[in-house]
Structure 1
Amino acid sequence: MLMSGNALPMHPVSPTPWQFGNRSPIINPSSSSTFQNRKRRSDEGNGQFDVKRQRFHSPVIHQAVPLRDDIRHHFPGSVGPLLRMGPPPHEINEQVSSSGDTWLFDLIETTLPVAKDKLSQQILDLFQACQQQVTDLKKKDVCRAELQREIQQIFPQSRLYLVGSSLSGFGTRSSDADLCLVIKEEPMNQKTEARHILSLLQKHFYTQLSYIERPQLIRAKVPIVKFRDKVSGVEFDLNVNNVVGIRNTFLLRTYAHIESRVRPLVLVVKRWAGHHGINDASRGTLSSYSLVLMVLHYLQILPEPVLPCLQKNYPECFNPNMQLHLVHHAPRHIPKYPSKNGTSLGDLFVGFLKYFATEFDWAEKIISVREGKAMQRTDGIEWKHKYICVEEPFDRTNTARAVHEKLKFDMIQDEFKKAWMILRESKDLNSVLPVGRIICMPKR
């Protein structure tokens, strides 16, 4: 059973073409009480919206954003709501506790692989010390639920989803949380419309919400607002309408839990890559998402696979056009994968390093979890003249496009080769990663 992506229930609204279901993914019925003592920065935010504070001037010309009636005429470029206004947010939120989705906070995987050698045991020890706990997930969702209530004061039909490693199963106790605000069904221009909406939210967070610290608008290809929740101490990244993140969260979540070796292997790869400076897309190396896809790809292409290709085996569960309110339910009952490959965690880690150090053809191949194989490069803009090609399983873009300098690519290759050569001899994780120091780091 899989955790979900956070849509609050809605009354049926007709004749709108797009509706979320009457289920409530990732809702903690007791979450609202945690926020009773949180204060806004201004009393105005509790009543009539402070229009003067929210007056933004933007080059956006053709916007179609569902705004509250009393502020729509103050929103530059707004041409009316996409979705008909539903019940007030407080009426929506009163239904939260009746969702019945308590299974979403259940521990999904309690059985760990057996370690019969030192390296495998070290990987398991690292995983058990660092993996995200259910309590960590609940803290993140409490903040998500409260923020959704706030955002619905501005965009009444919006839904806020927790996505990324926090839900996929690949998060750690120190992982930041990713949020996706879904405002409309149609694609959104990220450079103009999404950025403008995030500017509105960033100022609202700063002026109205005392529990939000350091809200910053980051003008990236997919712009985000970064902020910290003072109560939980969690750092958040909020994007608008980047819905592919909702879909891939549940694909990865399924891979994480159909085979018990997947999550420990991903965690040690991410920790190793971070320690050696090759896990930071903002600095021209590999994102954590690319590293996860690389691990899944390796486990798919072994002569005796550790993982299947889920999108081929269960196309109905991972349809890229599936309505968002169904995405978290579709893969819920996919069974464990009965792999005949009994390779230990330690040997899989060494094999992963060797595969990308000596066997994978970086110049000619594309890493594709969607196809379960390495595909031949094409002349498409995503692949031509790129150092590393990792296919996003749904929108088929290159998740490793940040690696655009040969110096950084050479560094990545070199780290794979060095770690492989060291580990194949030592079989000791401490030789490539300070395990003891990481395990003893205080948990926040």
Structure 2
Amino acid sequence: MSVLFQTGKLCLYKKCLKTSFCKYVFLRKASDVPRQFVSFDEIVAQRRAEARRSLVVQVNSESSFTELYGYCSKYATVNDIHHYKNSGGEHFMLIECSTEENLKDVLQNCSSHQKDLDVMAVPSPFLWFRAAPGKEKYPVTTRSLAVKDGCNKVDEDALYEELLNCGTVSDQIQLLYDRTVLNDLGIRLRYMVARQLEVIFSSLYANIAIQPFGSSVNGFGKMGCDLDLVLTNALTNEMTAANRRLVYQEKKTEGGRSPWQRHMELVAALLELRAPGAARVQRVLHARVPIVKYAHDMTDLDCDLCYNNTSGVYMSELLYLLGSMDNRVRPLVLAVRRWARAVTLTCAQPGRWITNFPLTLLVLFFLQQQRLLPSVRQLVQLARKGDIRIAEDNLNCTFLRDASRLPAASRGDHNLQTLLMQFFEYYAQFDFQDKAISVYEGNPVRKPNALPLYIVNPLEQALNVSRNVSYEELERLRLEVRNAAWQLEAGLEGKKGDDWGILGLIEQRSTRSLKKLLRVGNSHRLVSVKDLFNDKEDDPNSTEIKSKVQRLSKTEKDNVNELKDSVVKDEKNSQNVKEKQTQSMKYKNTQVRNEVNRIRRGKIV
């Protein structure tokens, strides 16, 4: 150690540790609790800032990068450019500038509107890059695309091949999470859609803010998941200062319906008329929370926009907090969700089946039983003054926001394989008839009513988030967790096959049955289907195949002939028996015998 101090190598060692790569490695390997925790509010602020200094530009192909970068870099400093394609095969590039001022310079010097009388000009962060009137030369750059094809769908065949080559089930679960979790570009595009609506609605509302919530931000989202958006119009203290004597005249909403239903009607109309990329707008205004549903064609996102549903944002924050406490939580949740979709426990359409949100709570509750996660009650008790949050209808959403302030707890040595097996075993034996799932308490509680499945809302304990689940679906859930536990255990004991580990759990049942039917090396198949349709006469195997078919057909004909002979023989024997019985029978007189024979002859077909 003294040599290090004398030679100055320790200073060099410290300098190396300060690099961003080393910081990333050490933070990744360190425990989640002692390290510096990044709060949900910090993540949201970072993503919103990225969206405010970004543009999404439609281009001809990924080869347009050099020209687009050279054109924009003349007026601003470009941090990165991300490339992706939508389902229509159109190419887009997300450009992130270094500052918002740089972005304004680009828009002021590089952007224009179309010369079309049928188009109403609208400000939007979504643009397209048209061809130059002449050949422009740009300086040669060493920069390249930060991401190419960043939103491509997961290749299921390639994913199954990678899962097949994993060493353990834990490696499979972690790989499934790494390949299917919502990536950085997917999150950026979701905040860009929210930013687009903020720009369009800013002229109508004084302090408009549109924020993603749900799977897009809580860390449990997968590639291609839907986008939930909430529109808020909260006024700041500065905007409502009592010492200012000039007050804006405001329009009061009149009518029998809720004012926010009418506002959402206006929002839906603006989406149809003013939002580029918005399509298939649907109004669901008579729900408890009015929603406008639409599809965004440029990003391939299905969006649900609601007003002032801040409790959904705080629920996303709670799930983000619990998922950040242990690096095994999110991979386990995504594995369980994928399994539930494979066995059709969940469905994209609403109905009487369980959804992803209650499934996530089931996993979190199970991890609480393993003492890997605290209860929500503990988070509420440790909350400070800065953690106070009040949602709509005076709903108290106060809980600890900084996980680094939690007392140190034992993380346990269970790997993902063990946790997944224990998850199935736990709910295979759970008493759903009398007990309810309470993530708030961290323990099973008595059911307050006779609904089949009762999962307590962690932020509003009077609500059951699984009240739609029927008795039949609950029985299917219990059956499927038992089958999954048995299948996972059986797969671990035998040799590694095509469905070892989680492969047999996450494959669709129809696909699994077809693979078993067409599996190569099936010894039960006498002749392959491909060989039956082989028309080559000179094929050395054709003679053998035809002889097999002829032998099979000949054997079948012999069997049919034997069966016919036996039937005829049995009929003759039965007739002889009847004749003997008739001859042996004694009748009272000749008239009775003739009448009996006539009746018997009439019954013969």
TM-score, with structure 2 as normaliser: 0.51
Alignment correspondent of 2:442: 372
Alignment correspondent of 1:34: 56
Alignment correspondent of 1:356: 427
> Cα deviations across residues 325-346 of structure 1 (Å, max 9, x unaligned)?
xx99962453686434211101
Q: CA deviation at 1:135?
A: 1.6
Q: Map residues 241-390 of structure 1 onto 2, 5 A cutoff.
A: 241-280=308-347, 282-302=350-370, 305-313=371-379, 314-316=382-384, 319=388, 321=390, 331-332=401-402, 334=404, 338-358=409-429, 360-378=430-448, 384-390=449-455
| Alignment CA distance shift 1:429-1:6 (3 Å) | closer
Q: Counterparts of 2:268 and 2:337 in 1: how far apart (Å)? A: 30
AA in 2 matched with 1:255: L
Q: CA deviation at 1:159?
A: 1.9
Task: Verify: 1:196 aligned to 2:269, yes or no.
Answer: no
Alignment correspondent of 1:94: none
More helix by share: 2
Q: Is the 8 A contact 1:27 1:145 kept in 2?
A: no
Q: CA deviation at 1:370?
A: 1.4
Q: CA deviation at 1:349?
A: 0.9
Q: Is the 8 A contact 2:211 2:230 kept in 1?
A: yes
Q: Counterparts of 2:46 and 2:263 in 1: how far apart (Å)? A: 25
Task: Verify: 1:159 aligned to 2:209, yes or no.
Answer: yes
Alignment correspondent of 2:569: none
AA in 2 matched with 1:292: T
Q: Map residues 53-72 of structure 1 onto 2, 5 A cutoff.
A: none
Q: Is the 8 A contact 2:437 2:443 kept in 1?
A: yes
| Alignment CA distance shift 1:368-1:330 (3 Å) | closer
| Alignment CA distance shift 1:193-1:2 (3 Å) | same
Q: CA deviation at 1:144?
A: 0.7
AA in 1 matched with 2:506: L
AA in 1 matched with 2:312: G
Q: Counterparts of 1:295 and 1:178 in 2: how far apart (Å)? A: 22
User: What CA RMSD, in Å, does the superposition of the two structures yield over aligned residues?
Assistant: 3.4
Q: Counterparts of 1:138 and 1:38 in 2: how far apart (Å)? A: 24
Q: CA deviation at 1:408?
A: 2.1
Task: Verify: 1:216 aligned to 2:282, yes or no.
Answer: yes
> Cα deviations across residues 266-310 of structure 1 (Å, max 9, x unaligned)?
0001111112122237121112111111111100012xx111224
AA in 2 matched with 1:167: V
Q: Counterparts of 1:306 and 1:406 in 2: how far apart (Å)? A: 31
Q: Which shifted more, 29-38 or 149-158?
A: 29-38
| Alignment CA distance shift 1:340-1:209 (3 Å) | closer
Which of the pair has the greater relative contact order for Cα pairs under 8 Å at 6+ separation? 1
Task: Verify: 1:207 aligned to 2:273, yes or no.
Answer: yes
Q: Counterparts of 1:156 and 1:163 in 2: how far apart (Å)? A: 22
Q: Counterparts of 2:218 and 2:192 in 1: how far apart (Å)? A: 18
Instruction: Report sequence identity in percent.
Output: 21
Q: Counterparts of 2:228 and 2:265 in 1: how far apart (Å)? A: 17
Q: Counterparts of 1:272 and 1:375 in 2: how far apart (Å)? A: 27
AA in 1 matched with 2:444: A
TM-score, with structure 1 as normaliser: 0.68
Q: Is the 8 A contact 1:180 1:242 kept in 2?
A: yes
Alignment correspondent of 1:4: 41
Q: Is the 8 A contact 1:165 1:171 kept in 2?
A: yes
Count, aligned residues: 338
Q: Is the 8 A contact 1:254 1:331 kept in 2?
A: yes
Q: Which shifted more, 227-236 or 269-278?
A: 227-236
AA in 2 matched with 1:410: E
